[in-house]
Amino acid sequence: MADLTRLHAHEMAALLRSGQVSSRELTAAHLAAAERDNRALNAWLTIDRERALVEADAADGRLAAARRGGPGVLDRLRPLLGIPIALKDLVSLKGGQCTAGSRILEGYRAPYDAHITERLREAGAVILGKTNMDEFAMGSSTEHSAYGPTANPWALDRVPGGSSGGSAAAVAAYHVPLSIGTDTGGSIRQPAALCGIVGMKPTYGRVRRYGIVAFASSLDQIGPFARDARDAAALLHAIAGRDDRDSTSSPQPVPAKLAALPSSDDAAAAALRGKRLGLPREYFVAGMEPGVEARVREAVRALEAAGATVEEVSLPHTDYGLATYYIVAPAEASANLARYDGLRYGPHHAEGDVLANYLATRGRGFGPEVKRRIMLGTYALSSGYYDAYYLKAQKVRTLIKADFDALWVQGFDALVAPTSPTVAFRFGDRLADPVAMYLSDACTLPVNMAGLPGISIPCGLSEGLPVGLQLIGAPWSEAELFGLARGYEAITAEADWRSLEPTELLRAADPDAPTPAERMSALAISGSR
């Protein structure tokens, strides 16, 4: 049997049901890979071997009982039963750590499960641990984690993207077939693109946020990472739906076809015929790498050859998306992070009077990027500036959404665009220039501002590194986007790049390999000479 870690989740599920492999075997294989590589990748903040094996044994018990019940009982089992999965370290897991990548939550143990954790437990998924992330999800590289950066399995001196870089790297490195991320301005889709995997940001409200550490509440959304569209769709199906504990979660029904994408490449490719896709000219931004643009335009031609119609369209307010986002998101972060004061949440540093204690607690607990965004947000919300900045940004946000709405009215099934204007960049390249870092999300931010679903899928390599193709849909069209993604996978199934694995997995397995922090430090020293 092939290496168990190289299988897709739906292939693992078939083996589990047949009894050819056990969840304990699957879990042990993935735990071994994660533990072996984590020094070099730092994708995981915690790996809970003991808990994972207990959950795997419970899944094996459910599978054995179902096999005794016959085919009908087996058919009713949940697709994720016995499948290993990783959670971004801002998802509450009862009894487990939940740091959100910050020192201010170091040592915190969640007293309850997030709703998506409850759903994953119901489905029988096996949670291996918590993955690294930019502090409070503020970043595009996972270099802003208080616990050190994460490395990209394709190039250990480069970033995996962010803020969900740990979750993306863990899937790309075959530590798990599935993981959970969050996307506030591109933090699922951008790392999916840079790591060469699939990542979906659902419609705002599709997945409940109860038990998720907040960054910007009107933008945050939970979504799946996987190595193909079928697995990502199955994971979204498992976690989506209404929760009364989250007033922003929608009662919109979760379509059953999310868990039933075609297994046949012919059927998947046929679904592309007759689709009308828009190609927004504004998404080919200044500074886009030529290799990235070339791969995206090749993907567009492949979709056209498969029977889709692609038309150039305009989203005229896209150019305002970056500025608008960096008013709205920091403003909401400033309000959300006010609770970490050493009295209600976070460690308490006694330095004198109440104000001194407050400043010491937040000064030591928050990293520089979080402080920068709190200051920006507090300024935008301050007296005399609210109308000039925050209120105006919300009005522009409405115009951004209206641009998309006009295209849905015209009958477009989806939009196709780049996910990231560049491939993975080297550690430290953008840390000294926050604006350059913020531009990493220029192609993904408008989707969050409009509350729409978007998915990134691999579409080839540039300079040996992955490039992502982004598909954007109308509200609640996740199933349709997954269908398009599955169709693209089918028509490119024989492409040479499909068979390639991340090029530095062997180096990552070296027990003496430098850590990402050591690599980052070495690059900084060499760059200063």
DSSP per-residue letters across 16-39: HHHTSS-HHHHHHHHHHHHHHHHH
SS3 labels along 193-207: HHHCCEEEECCCCCE
477 is catalytic: no
Minimal CA–CA distance to 375: which of 347, 321, 334? 334
CA distances in angstroms from 342 to 16, 110, 358, listed in the order given: 47, 17, 7
DSSP assignments along 257-322, one per residue:
GGG---S-HHHHHHTTTT-EEEEEGGGS-TT--HHHHHHHHHHHHHHHHTT-EEEEE--TTGGGHH
* Contact present, 80 and 63 (Cβ < 8 Å): no
Query: Which residue in 357, 93, 77 sits closest to 238, CA to CA?
Result: 77
d(CA 442, CA 390): 20
Between strands 276-280 and 309-313, the pairing is parallel
Rounded Cα distance between 528 and 447, Å, is 38
- Encoding tokens for residue 295? 């791969």
Q: Which of 140, 187, 334, 477 is catalytic?
A: 187
Structure-token pair, residue 438? 């913020």
- Nearest CA to 283 out of 444, 42, 165 is that of 444
When computed from its CA atoms, the radius of gyration of the chain, rounded to whole angstroms, is 22
| DSSP structure string for 375-436 | HHHHHHHSTTTIIIIIIHHHHHHHHHHHHHHHHHHTT--EEEEES-SSSPPBTTTTTT-HHH
- Specify the DSSP class assigned to residue 152: B
Catalytic, 88? Answer yes
Query: 443 and 416 in contact (C-beta within 8 Å)?
Result: no
Q: Can you tell me the distance from the alpha carbon of 215 to that of 327, in angstroms, rounded to the nearest whole number?
A: 13
Write the single-letter amino acid at 326: Y
Q: Which two tokens stand for residue 147?
A: 């616990």
**Token pair recorded at residue 297:** 């335009």
Query: For residues 520 and 428, is the Cβ–Cβ distance under 8 A?
Result: yes
Active site residue 22: no
Tokens at 203, concatenated: 């419609």
| Cβ atoms of 104 and 365 closer than 8 Å | yes
Identify the burial level of 8 via C-beta atoms within 10 angstroms of its C-beta, where 0-12 means exposed, 13-18 middle and 19 or more buried: middle
Kindly state the tokens that stand for 216.
């910007």
Q: Which amino acid is at 516?
A: P
Q: Which residues are catalytic?
A: 88, 163, 187
